[in-house]
Amino acid sequence: MTDALRTLLGQALEHAVAYREGLATGLARPLEDYHASRDGFSAPLPETGTDPGTIIDDLATRARPGLMPTPGPRFFAWVMGASDPVGVAADWLVSAWGQNAGYQSTSPAAAAMEEVAERWLLDLLDLPRDSGIGFSTGATLANGICLAAARTRTLLNAGWDPDADGLFGAPPVHVLIGADAHSSVFSSLQLIGFGRKRVITIDTDDQGRMLPAALEAASGGLSGPKIIIAQAGQINTGAFDPFAEIVAIGKAHDAWVHVDGAFGLWARATPKRRHLTAGIEGCDSWVTDGHKWLQAPYDCGFAIVRDRDALLGAMTQWSSYLPSVAQGDRVPSNYVPELSRRARGVPVYALIRAFGRSGIADLVEQHCGFAVRFADRLGAEPGIVVRNAVVINQLIVSFGTGDSAARKAATEAVIGAVQLDGTCFAAGASWRGEWVMRLSISSSATTAADIEISADAIIAAWRQVQSAGL
């Protein structure tokens, strides 16, 4: 058994290293599309087994052309971290250990590392130190976890126990949310039974920041439980809601204030960007991802809740066969809607140790600087317009000077040309009626030279589109 494991892990190691070595020089896009990948893998259900070594080799070879170079240095399409080597190595150990990280008794070491990582995260992000953190699959689920805790507390305060009695007949909970919130929050609202449409939408400014006056006006006439959903890091502009004002309004109206900070919450980890999050510590719950700026391998998100009892109330399950724990001991399973779970705390523990507080601050700061440099380079080229105030790692640009339809066609053509060229990878989105190219810098593999090469490639693609007459 151990010889077989050694052989297979050795094979996997060779494939993994070859893949990662190719990222800096290879094309920054998959070499085949989904349909080609599906054809490559498609086969009748095997009636008999195959030699495991053959499978690992075959899997790596067949997958390779269909892999998106997300951990590479010039992947900018979405906010996706680079699965830093120490996190990958720690995650390999997690798989090899085969631990169920739900309880102290099912894995004392995994539970211990998660508890330490919880403490470190609260320190790094400078959030209330007695908050509880659910280690989830990502920010989407983490939003759902935090909002479930908000549902528990706001309804308990109104005399209704939603965890025991559900939502039928419960007092209505008013949900107030900025007009430029991320789609995942609506998915979370849908999941917890609040509905994605049953919200009060609060107007935002040109960067997507919630307008406090609009929030105050909307909150004024409401009675009963309320949840305000704010945002740290708008997906297109990177903008931050004005938390101090939002928290003051929340307190005045007895509302739970939640923050989706899937990537933006990490601005708190660097002294130079902390001001963007001023007042955020007064909120009730916060979400961020490990698999974005912390560079953790997928999947890894954090649901951070000040009111630990509300979080536990919303998530805990009981049965006589489940391990009992000493009063006050932290049970990983009770923080997420999962019983058996992966030891997500392990790569987080390893990454925070590897980077340290200063390493994380430097990484975030470096990416924000790269975004400014990118914007300066692109904005200096005639016909390219930077459409946001670059405050963090996000920038959006449009191409062309004609009417809106012509600009959209030009921007789409540039995105297509950039992807085909393969120097870097970028994708599009709509912002304030304008089709834009989004550039998110969040990979620990990216260097200053990568930004220059990528800016050159984007400008070249734009010139090519222009000479083609678009």
Ligand X SMILES: Cc1ncc(COP(=O)(O)O)c(C=O)c1O
Task: Give the residues lining the site for ligand X (CB under 6 A).
Answer: 79, 138-140, 182, 184, 233, 235, 260, 262-263, 289, 301
The smaller minimum CB distance to ligand X, of residues 111 and 303, is found at: 303
Least separation, in Å, of the C-beta of 185 and ligand X? 7
Distance CA 308, CA 301 (A): 17
Least separation, in Å, of the C-beta of 76 and ligand X? 13
Asked whether 233 and 261 are in contact (CB, 8 A), the reply is: yes
Joined tokens for residue 309: 């009892």
Least separation, in Å, of the C-beta of 201 and ligand X? 17
Beta strands in 270-346 (DSSP E): 285-289, 301-305
The smaller minimum CB distance to ligand X, of residues 91 and 260, is found at: 260
Asked whether 122 and 128 are in contact (CB, 8 A), the reply is: yes
Query: Rounded to the nearest 10 degrees, how much is the dihedral formed by the CA atoms of 10, 7, 106, 148?
Result: 50
- Cβ-Cβ contacts under 8 Å for 446 (sequence gap 6 or more): 73, 74, 82, 367, 370
**Beta-sheet strand order (sheet of 285-289):** 132-136, 301-305, 285-289, 256-260, 226-231, 174-178, 200-202
The smaller minimum CB distance to ligand X, of residues 79 and 417, is found at: 79
**Block residue for tokens 């400008």:** 459
Least separation, in Å, of the C-beta of 46 and ligand X? 33
**Block residue for tokens 């989706």:** 260
The smaller minimum CB distance to ligand X, of residues 139 and 148, is found at: 139
**Block residue for tokens 């240095």:** 73
The smaller minimum CB distance to ligand X, of residues 235 and 461, is found at: 235
Least separation, in Å, of the C-beta of 407 and ligand X? 25
The smaller minimum CB distance to ligand X, of residues 178 and 301, is found at: 301
The smaller minimum CB distance to ligand X, of residues 140 and 152, is found at: 140
Q: How many CB atoms lie within 10 A of CB 270?
A: 21
Using CA atoms, how far residue 93 sits from 23, 47, 52, 121, 407, in Å, is 23, 31, 19, 22, 49
Chain position whose Cβ is nearest to ligand X: 138
Nearest alpha carbon to residue 227 among 180, 276, 158, 277: 158
| Cis-peptide, bond into residue 299, ω within 30° of zero | yes
Least separation, in Å, of the C-beta of 168 and ligand X? 29
Least separation, in Å, of the C-beta of 342 and ligand X? 15
Least separation, in Å, of the C-beta of 340 and ligand X? 21
The long-range contacts involving 361-364, CB below 8 angstroms and separated by at least 24 positions, are 361/269, 361/270, 361/271, 362/270, 363/293, 363/295, 363/444, 364/266, 364/267, 364/269, 364/270, 364/273, 364/293, 364/393
The smaller minimum CB distance to ligand X, of residues 293 and 462, is found at: 293
| 303 backbone dihedrals φ, ψ, rounded to 5° | -105, 110
The smaller minimum CB distance to ligand X, of residues 392 and 424, is found at: 392
Q: Which residues of 330-362 are buried (b: 16+ CB within 10 A; e: fewer)?
A: bbbbbbbbbeebbbbbbbbbbbbebbeeeebbe
The smaller minimum CB distance to ligand X, of residues 233 and 428, is found at: 233
Least separation, in Å, of the C-beta of 230 and ligand X? 11
Least separation, in Å, of the C-beta of 343 and ligand X? 18
